[in-house]
Homo-oligomer: A and B are copies of this chain.
Amino acid sequence: MEPSNRLETLLERLRARGLRLTPQRLAIVRALVNHPGHPSVEQLHQEILPDFPTTSLATVYKTVHLLKSQGEVLELAFGEQGSRFDGLRPRPHPHLICTRCGAIMDPAGDGPEALEALAAELAQRAGFSVSSHRFDIFGLCPACRG
Binding site for B on A (CB under 8 A): 75, 77-80, 83, 94, 96, 98-99, 105, 107-109, 111, 114-115, 118-119, 122-123, 125-142, 145
Contact = CB atoms under 8 A, between A and B. Distances in A.
A68 to B, nearest CB: 12
Contacts of A109: 125
- Report whether over half of chain A's contact residues are helix, strand or loop; otherwise say mixed: mixed
Contacts of A131: 99, 138-140
A89 to B, nearest CB: 15
A65 to B, nearest CB: 12
Contacts of A99: 131
Contact of A139 (B98, B130, B136, B141): B130
A142 B98 CA distance: 35
A140 to B, nearest CB: 5
A83 B80 CA distance: 10
25 contacts: A77-B78, A77-B79, A77-B80, A96-B128, A98-B128, A99-B131, A105-B126, A107-B122, A107-B123, A107-B125, A107-B126, A108-B125, A109-B125, A111-B122, A115-B118, A118-B135, A127-B145, A128-B139, A128-B141, A130-B137, A130-B139, A133-B136, A133-B138, A135-B135, A135-B136
